[in-house]
Structure 1
Amino acid sequence: MWKGRLDPHGYGVFDVDAKPHRAHRWILEYHLGRKLRGDEVARHMCHTKPCVRIEHLAPGSRADNAQDEIKRGRRRRSVHEDCGHPLTSSAKAKCRQENGVKQPVRFGFTPHERFMLDVDTTSDPNGCHLWIGRKNQAGYGRFGVDGTLKLAHRWALEQKLGRKLGPEEVCRHACDVRACVRQDHLEPGTRLENARDTVERGQHYNAHRTHCKRGHEFNEENTYIAPTHGKRSCRACALIRNPRKGPKPERTHCKHGHELTPENTMIRASTGTRDCRECGRIRTRESQRRKRNKLLAGESPVYTLTHCKNGHEFTEANTYITPASGSRQCLECKRERRRKRKP
């Protein structure tokens, strides 16, 4: 079997002197010691297009090649739809004598019969039905139906499901063999599921790579796998592109230069972040200074809260303003604290 590249009809292609030649024709010419004439073709006695075994090849004419296909059932003459008589003069007369009426004509094979002519169901040890007809550059079979070329495995799956696949659907191979058209090995899916299958099974074209383009190794710590499409990326390269995404070093001082010692550090319960106690004391003193200056200037400070934390309203009779800082205190809360201190 030819393992190199194939032409659209499934025959092997072999370059000689920078010119492409069909592999089976070239090996036959090499064995015969001469070039085939213009009216000669290389006949496959095994009827396997990629085969280049010299015992399976023989020279002949195009008529001989056509007769071989008819004898092996790969080419059928046009026949009557119901009785199966070929469209010859004697068969037409016999058909009219037997049936009495003119029969509808069926030309050639049905699509399913033509499809099975290019399927090898016996050679693969894993039970795959291999497509031996024309293929595209990716190795998938091509099958012509209704004047259009379709992917052979996709057409086989559509026949199994009884419907056409949608534009967002693809045909997934459970056996990972692109030339397989066995319906048991095919199932519908999305492009995302198909891409994940290639990554999980090591079939992706980048699966063999162990390092990124900058030389960083794809180990467990340095590899990020995107949850949406399953692609992997290098974490070290991501830090080079955007250094802000990297881990930030632990702070030892606040932005004003105060050291974040255990005594000078406060952990917020809501967010878990660290705050500088000295900065908090400075902000409190500054706020008290501004309020005191407003009181000395005769301005009344603006208070936003109308009730204290215990729910008492800040009325004129229930409010005490501290002269030093200008902050408000609830007199009712003050009385409650005094009552609790008394035995």
Structure 2
Amino acid sequence: MTAPKPMTKWQASLPEILPLHIRRNVTRGPGGCWLWNRSTSPDGYGWASLNNVTHQAHRLIYTITTGAVAPGLVLDHLCRVRRCVNPAHLEPVTPAENLRRSELTAAGAKKCVKGHELSSYHGQRRCLVCKREYERSRRRGLDWESRQPWSKAKAEA
């Protein structure tokens, strides 16, 4: 068995309440992030083990340093870096609020797929530029699909 890798001065400065095997696998990132350097899920979140139980790394470190997350809440990465495990960059929020804050979901999107700003329209967020284009194309009898940026018809033309 090989000896564990030595800790850097920065890793040694992390809260002593964190187990050594956790501190050894965190490095300093930009903007004060603590980046998890071991196993990650396909969507970029870290995985860590403690007492033979695997946890999401950010949730485990938050629980150890700050306390348990209330039932029904998730941890939102304020820095938007999924590998970040810095408890100061995490905030417990409802899943709905987490989706609203995310720019990767439709709930958090600020622009349409063509890059136009979204606006409120009958209680929904819609791209008014694309809506006008769609209505114009319908009046002219044009096929909406052929006008999309991902359309095969557009690529063949």
Q: TM-score, normalised by structure 2?
A: 0.61
Q: What residue number does 1:220 align with?
A: 119
Change (3 A) 1:165 1:146: farther
Which of the residues 185, 191, 199 maps onto 2:89? 185
Show structure 1 runs of 4+ deviating over 6 A: none
Counterpart check, 1:115 vs 2:15: no
Distance verdict in 2 for CA 1:170–1:221, change over 3 Å: closer
| Offset, 1:163 | 2.6
Question: Residue 204 of structure 1 corresponds to which residue in structure 2?
Answer: 104
Percent sequence identity over aligned pairs: 26
Give RMSD over aligned pairs. Answer: 3.0
Residue 175 of structure 1: aligned partner: 79
Deviation at 1:162, TM superposition (A): 2.3
| CA positional deviation for 1:193 | 1.2
Return the offset for 1:150.
0.8
Letter paired with 2:25 = D
Contact 2:25–2:38 at 8 Å: present in 1 too? yes
Please name the residue that 1:129 is paired with. Answer: 34
Q: Which runs of 5+ in 1 are unaligned?
A: 1-62, 75-109, 212-216, 226-231, 241-343
CA contact 1:160–1:183 (8 Å) conserved in 2: yes
Task: Report the residue type matching 1:120 in the other structure.
Answer: T
Question: Which of 41, 65, 81 matches 1:160?
Answer: 65
The answer to whether 1:147 aligns with 2:52 is yes
Letter in 2 for 1:116: R
State whether residues 99 and 105 of structure 2, in contact with CA within 8 Å, keep that contact through their aligned partners in structure 1: no
Structure whose alpha-carbon radius of gyration is higher: 1
Matches within 5 A, 1:25-64: none
Structure 2 vs 1, CA of residues 137 and 223 (structure 1 numbering), >3 Å: closer, same or farther? Answer: farther
Instruction: Compute the TM-score of the two structures, normalised by the length of structure 1.
Output: 0.30
Q: Where does the alignment leave 5 or more consecutive residues of structure 2 unmatched?
A: 8-16, 136-157
SS of equivalent residue, structure 1 residue 163: coil
Contact 1:158/1:165 (8 A) holds in 2: no
CA 234–209 in structure 1, closer or farther in 2 if over 3 Å, else same: closer
